[in-house]
């Protein structure tokens, strides 16, 4: 089987598994909505800088929780079965793509709920949405590899947090900058540099994950 | 003599840099005044840290292809010593910042980036402690080390250049090169950097040898 075909069927398998139980996605959507409500009740009204920072913090914790599970939800023996029929590259690639799709959905829901409940004037909603989507994809790319590492180390959630937060900070800083530009409704050409950096970080992390994962899965 | 000439060279360079750094001629500058001499001590710390982290990532890559435990020992001891140099770099920088910028820790991307990169390497050490089995620990921590290395470069050397920063050489500021008209500062800074790098590698090899002996003892008693 070619790599592309393997990846495609593995992603389909993940989606079907998720669709049957709907546990992870419902849980995480509920998590986002309740966090937004807690923040809304606590802050009532906030200035734009805090609004922006708060949104990214909510999304950061939601994505850590969502992606943390990606390597432990299936039993060990079933994982062995996957490794016998598919290459390690196909497995990590399918997990990354699946997590990216899930994060796209999750971050759009978060953005929608957050901007309805916590309404604040946005200068350039389209650019903000682009930043949110790129951010979701970037979180998925980085956290998938880190969750694979922490799953090998007994998967405690403290380890996931301390391993992933320093790594995610460059991405988060660029994201906060772009989304602040979008909030203030600045000219789009100002944000092109940051958007390129975001795309570059995403490509780099996926490439490193592909190179390193074949060493990781063997026990 | 053949084997340890570089250790003697490191000590000589260090003594030279301390004497010349404190007594040598420096250009008279506003704001920084005589604290410009800190450049001989602050900058080499970071050069040494960076060298050790490169050694660490190279040996992590070597470990993945060879599965030789000694490569893993070099990788982890390079990080251990690198973190010490990073802490001294931060402390000497804070002392300097207190004098020239008025506060030990202004909210500056260069400072924050360095601190976060340190957190990342501390996380590497915590990850090692979380894993019991030796081969698994070596392999997984090597993977994290390689994964973290480009992020460290982005945090410390790329991102501060793109934003506003107080730090020389970042955020569009020039380094100290323009003040050094007759090259008298370079004549101290470069030997000082080489000396500290040699001392850092010496420390690393010492710790590596201790760890290797402990490992041999441990496997012998089993």
Residue range A95-143, pLDDT digits in tens: 999 999 999 998 998 888 888 888 777 888 888 888 899 899 999 989 9
| Confidence check: pLDDT of B181 > 60 | no
pLDDT in tens, A42-62: 887 788 888 888 999 999 998
Q: Which two tokens stand for residue A102?
A: 């899930």
B196, B44 contact by CB (below 8 A):
yes
Provide the pLDDT for residue B174.
Answer: 64
The rounded distance, in Å, linking the Cα atoms of A162 and B158 is: 23
A47 three-state secondary structure = coil
Q: How many domains in chain A?
A: 1
B116, B151 contact by CB (below 8 A):
no
List of chain B residues whose C-beta atoms are within 8 Å of the C-beta of residue A170 = 151, 154-155, 159
Lowest mean pLDDT among B37-51, B52-66, B160-174: B160-174
What pTM was computed for the model? 0.87
Q: Which two tokens stand for residue B39?
A: 């450049």
B105, B61 contact by CB (below 8 A):
no
B62 three-state secondary structure = helix
Q: Which DSSP category does B66 fall into? A: H
Q: Which DSSP category does B36 fall into? A: G
Range of the domain at A58: 3-216
The rounded distance, in Å, linking the Cα atoms of B179 and A159 is: 46
The stretch B116-140 carries a mean pLDDT of: 90
* B123 touches A at CB < 8 Å: yes
List of chain A residues whose C-beta atoms are within 8 Å of the C-beta of residue B127 = 149, 153, 159, 163
Instruction: Tell me the C-alpha to C-alpha distance, in Å, between residue B215 and each of A107, A158, B57, B134, B179.
Output: 48, 29, 21, 11, 51
Provide the pLDDT for residue A219.
Answer: 65
The rounded distance, in Å, linking the Cα atoms of B202 and B4 is: 10
- How open is the CA angle A130-A135-A139, to the nearest 5 degrees? 155
Q: Which stretches within B67-158 are classed as H helix?
A: 69-100, 109-130, 134-153
Q: What sign results for the dihedral spanned by CA atoms B178, B182, B183, B187?
A: negative
B210, B202 contact by CB (below 8 A):
no
Q: A212, B146: Cβ pair inside 8 Å? A: yes
A-B C-beta contacts closer than 8 Å = 65
List of chain B residues whose C-beta atoms are within 8 Å of the C-beta of residue A173 = 159
Q: Which two tokens stand for residue B121?
A: 């390497």
| Confidence check: pLDDT of B67 > 80 | yes
The rounded distance, in Å, linking the Cα atoms of B142 and B67 is: 11
A50, A183 contact by CB (below 8 A):
no
């Amino acid at each position: 089987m070619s790599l592309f075909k393997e990846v495609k069927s593995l992603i389909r398998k993940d989606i079907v598994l998720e669709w049957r139980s709907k546990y992870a996605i419902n849980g995480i959507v509920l998590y986002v909505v309740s966090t937004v409500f807690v923040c809304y009740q606590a802050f009532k009204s906030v200035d734009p800088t805090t609004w922006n920072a708060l949104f990214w913090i909510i999304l950061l914790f939601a994505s850590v929780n969502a992606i943390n599970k990606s390597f432990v939800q299936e039993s060990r023996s079933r994982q062995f079965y996957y490794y016998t029929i598919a290459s390690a590259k196909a497995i990590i690639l399918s997990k990354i793509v699946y997590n990216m799709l899930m994060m796209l959905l999750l971050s759009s829901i978060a953005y929608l709920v957050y901007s309805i409940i916590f309404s604040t004037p946005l200068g350039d909603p389209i650019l903000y949405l682009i930043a949110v989507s790129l951010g979701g994809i970037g979180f998925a790319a980085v956290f998938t590899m880190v969750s694979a590492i922490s799953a090998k180390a007994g998967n405690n959630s403290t380890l996931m947090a301390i391993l992933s937060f320093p790594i995610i900070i460059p991405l988060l800083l660029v994201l906060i900058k772009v989304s602040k530009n979008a909030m203030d409704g600045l000219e789009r050409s100002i944000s092109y540099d940051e958007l390129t950096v975001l795309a570059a970080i995403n490509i780099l992390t996926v490439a490193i994950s592909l190179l390193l994962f074949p060493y990781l899965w063997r026990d | 003599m053949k084997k340890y000439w570089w250790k003697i060279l490191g000590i000589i360079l260090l003594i030279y840099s301390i004497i010349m750094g404190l007594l040598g001629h420096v250009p008279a500058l506003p704001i920084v005044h005589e604290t410009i001499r800190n450049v001989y001590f602050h900058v080499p710390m970071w050069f040494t840290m960076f060298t050790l982290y490169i050694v660490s990532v190279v040996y992590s890559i070597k470990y993945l292809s060879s599965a030789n435990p000694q490569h893993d020992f070099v990788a982890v001891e390079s990080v251990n010593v690198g973190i010490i140099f990073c802490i001294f770099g931060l402390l000497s920088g804070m002392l300097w910042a207190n004098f020239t910028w008025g506060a030990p820790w202004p909210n500056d991307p260069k400072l924050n980036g360095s601190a976060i990169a340190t957190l990342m390497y501390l996380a590497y050490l915590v990850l090692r402690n979380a894993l019991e089995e030796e081969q698994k620990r070596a392999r997984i921590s090597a993977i994290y080390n390689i994964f973290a290395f480009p992020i460290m470069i982005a945090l410390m050397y790329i991102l501060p250049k793109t934003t506003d920063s107080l730090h020389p050489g970042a955020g569009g500021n020039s380094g100290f090169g323009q003040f050094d008209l007759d090259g008298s500062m370079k004549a101290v800074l470069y030997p000082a950097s080489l000396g500290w790098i040699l001392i850092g590698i010496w420390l690393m090899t010492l710790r590596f040898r201790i760890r290797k002996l402990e490992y041999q003892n441990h496997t012998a008693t089993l």
